[in-house]
Amino acid sequence: MAKKLLIVESPAKATTINRYLGEDFEVLASYGHIRDLPSKDGAVDPDNDFAMRYELSEGSKKHVDKIVKAARKAEAVYLATDLDREGEAISWHIYEILREKGLTDKVPYYRVEFSEITPRAIKAAIDNPRKLSMDLVNAQQARRALDHLVGFNLSPLLWKKIKTGLSAGRVQSPALRMIVEREREIEAFNPREYWSIEADLEKEGNPFSAKLVRLDGDTFRQFDIDNEKRAHEVRQALLGNANGKLVANRVKRKERKRRPAPPFITSTLQQDASRKLRFSAQNTMRTAQALYEGVAIDGVNQGLITYMRTDSVALSNDALADLRKQIGSQFGDRYVPKKPNFYKTKSKNAQEAHEAIRPTSAALTPDKVRRYLDDRQFRLYELIWRRAMASQMAPALLDTVAVEFDCGDDATFRANGSVITFPGFLAAYEVSVPEGKQEQESQLPDINEGDRVQLQDIRAGQHFTEPPPRYSEASLVKAMEEYGIGRPSTYASIISTLLRRHYAELDRRRFVPTDTGRVVERFLENHFSHYVDYEFTAKLEDELDAVSRGEAEWIPLLREFWDPFIKKVKEKEETVSRDEAKNVRVLGKDPKSGKDVTVRLGRYGPHAQIGHRDDEDKPKFAGLRPGQKIDTITFEDALELFRLPRKLGSTPEGEAVSVNVGRYGPYVRYGDK
C-alpha cells in the first residue's frame, strides 16, 4: 500500500511526527544539508554566472538513498524541512536529486511548513501546502557562494603573506576582531582613581549603610573626589557636621514590578549555562541535544525539550496552555497572569523557524526526571524548565524605599532598600546579575520621616576604574548575536575555530588573542576592512532578504560583491610585502653590531631577530617567552633574549657546555646533546 513520504531535517523530529501522522505516512530525515560545495577552489565559477558545483555531502549518501527508495513508491512527497532560508535550500536539493532520477513527474510534490511540532500544526501544514520558493533558495545560494568565495580567496592570501594553514571568513574574522579590539582597549586603558563615601548607620540595633549622593550642594559624581587627601578632608567635615546622628529627611516608597525574561533561545541558553553552570558553549549544545533526542522514561523514549538551535522566543499556544496549567497547580493562581506573556524576538536576522527552547511537557518537573538523567543533563534541564516556567509567570512585586539623610546643609546620604512582597516568577527562576554590575539593594530597617539614626562611622573607599573585561564564551556569543554574525547552529563552532587556529586562547575562561590572531586581524582590518566590518553581514542580510522577497536578483548581487573583492585580493597580493603583513616591528639598533632589532611572527611563533635575511651573515634569532607579545615587547626585553645561549664552560673532555631557552623551557647542552 503506497504511502505518502514526508521529509524533515532532524531524525528526532521525524520520529515524533511519524507518531502523529500514523500509517498513511512514512517520515524520513535528511540529517541537515545533503549537498554542499566541496572544499576546493572552483566550486563556484564567477566567470560563469557563479555556477555552483554541488556534491553529495560526506555521510549523506545513506540518507539520500533511503529517501530515493521511499520516493519511488510514494504516492506523494511532502518537503517539510525547516521554514527558513537553509531549510528551503535543503528541500530544493532533495527535489533536484529526485528530479535527476526522474521521480518528480509521476507524483505530486508539496512544500509544507510548520513552526511547532504539534499534531494540529502538522495537519494544518499538510492541508495548506505551497510551492518551493526559488527566491528563498536563491538567497541561500547567494549566501553560500559568497561565504565560499570570501573564505577561499582570503585564506590563501594569509598563507602567502603570513603563515600557512591560516583562515579568514565572513563570520570568524569579525569575531576575531572583537577579541583583538577588546584587548587593545584593555592595553590602552588608564585607570582613574576615585573615592566613595559611605555612612555606617544603625537604627535600634539594625545596621545599614548609606551612600553620599550630594556634596557642597551639588550632586556627588564619580570623580569628584580623586585623591586621598581630599577624601580625608570630606570625611572629617561630614563627621563634624553629623555629630554622631543623622535624621531621615525624606522617605520615598514605591512599588515596583519586575518582569520575567523570555524563554531561552540558543544564544541565551549558552550564556546562562556558562554563567550559572560554567558549561562551555559546546558542552551546552551537546547536553541539550541529548535532552532533545530524549531519554527512556518508563520504557518509552521521550524528548524532554524542544529544538535547541533556535532564534525565536515564541511559544506555541499548546505550550502556553501547558505552562500556565503547571504554574497554577504548582504555585497557585496568583502566579498565573491574566493573559500569557508575549515576547518579541529582538535578535537581528532572526529566521524564527522553531519555537523557543522549552520543556516538551511542563508537568515533567526537574524532580520527576532527575533519575533518568546524568548530572549535566539534569542541571541543564532544570535551567530550561525554570526559565520557561518563569517566562509565563506573573511579575515579582517589590516595595522599594529610598531614604535621604541630610548631613549639614550641603551634603546628603541616601540608603536604598527593597523588599519582595510577591515573588512571582522569582519563585521559579533566579535572575543572574549581568557582568560588571553588582546588585546592592538590600533590606533596610523600617524608617520614617524625621527618625533619628545613629552614625557609627563614615568610610572613604578608594577605587579605580577598570578596563572592559575580556570576552568570555558567553559574552562573545552575545556580541555576535547582537551584530547578527553567525547562527544558532554555529556559535559553538566559531569559538572552536578561533581556538583551533590559535588566534585566541582561553585564560580563566576568557579569550586572549595570540600574536597570530593579532597579526591576522591587523592584516584584514588594514586591507580588507569592508569585509570584516561588523556591518558587512547586516548589509548582506538586507540584500538577501530582498532576494528572498523577489525584489532583487541573486547573480547581480554576487557580481557586485565579487568584482571589487577579487580586484582587491589581486592588488594586495602584489602591493603588501610579507614584512608588512607580518607586522614586523623595528625596536632599535643592536649596540654590538649596529643592526636592526626586530620582532615578528615566524613559522614557529613570534620571535626577535637581529639583522636582516639579506645581510651577509645569517641573522640571529630568539623566540619570545610566554607572556611577551609582538605589539608590546620593549627593546630592552628583546635584547635580553639574545643573552642566551651562553657558554658556561667545558666538560673535562673539552666539549662546550652552554645554556639556552627552547620551546619547552630552559635547558643545558654539551657537545651535540
Is 245 in contact with 457 (CB distance < 8 Å)? no
Q: What are phi and psi of 476, to 5 degrees?
A: -70, -45
Minimum distance from CB of 659 to DNA (Å)? Answer: 10
* Residue closest to 66 by CA, chosen among 19, 110, 29: 29
Nearer CB in complex with DNA: 414/669:
669
Q: Hey, what's the torsion of the CAs at 17, 18, 24, 29, to 10 degrees? A: 90
> Rounded to an integer, what distance in angstroms lies between the CA atom of residue 567 and that of residue 573?
10
Is 403 in contact with 202 (CB distance < 8 Å)? no
Q: Does the annotation count 307 as an active-site position?
A: yes
Minimum distance from CB of 86 to DNA (Å)? Answer: 4
Environment class of 301 (CB within 10 Å of its CB; exposed 0-12, middle 13-18, buried 19+): exposed
Bridge partners (DSSP) of residue 264 are 357
Q: What are phi and psi of 601, to 5 degrees?
A: -95, 115
Minimum distance from CB of 111 to DNA (Å)? Answer: 17
Nearer CB in complex with DNA: 292/335:
292
Q: Pairing between strand 585-589 and 510-513? A: unpaired
Bridge partners (DSSP) of residue 513 are 504
Q: What is the 3-state secondary structure (H, E, C) of 45-73?
A: EHHHCCEECCEECCCCHHHHHHHHHHHHH
For 83, the grid coordinates are: 521554514
* Residue closest to 471 by CA, chosen among 226, 218, 184: 184
Minimum distance from CB of 59 to DNA (Å)? Answer: 6
Is 489 in contact with 258 (CB distance < 8 Å)? no
Nearer CB in complex with DNA: 104/289:
289
Nearer CB in complex with DNA: 129/602:
602
**Set 307, 335, 381, 483: catalytic member:** 307
Nearer CB in complex with DNA: 155/209:
155
Is 388 in contact with 428 (CB distance < 8 Å)? no
Minimum distance from CB of 144 to DNA (Å)? Answer: 6
Nearer CB in complex with DNA: 193/631:
631
Minimum distance from CB of 601 to DNA (Å)? Answer: 8
608: CB partners within 8 A, 6+ apart: 587, 597, 598, 599, 621, 622, 623, 624, 633, 638, 641, 642
Nearer CB in complex with DNA: 312/326:
312
Minimum distance from CB of 622 to DNA (Å)? Answer: 6
Minimum distance from CB of 411 to DNA (Å)? Answer: 55
Q: Pairing between strand 452-464 and 245-258? A: antiparallel
For 452, the grid coordinates are: 533619628
Look at residue 409 and give its three-state secondary structure: coil
Nearer CB in complex with DNA: 41/573:
41
Is 515 in contact with 601 (CB distance < 8 Å)? yes
Give the DSSP H or E segment for 621: strand 620-623
Nearer CB in complex with DNA: 436/666:
666
Minimum distance from CB of 548 to DNA (Å)? Answer: 13
283: CB partners within 8 A, 6+ apart: 273, 376
**Could you list the active site residues?**
307
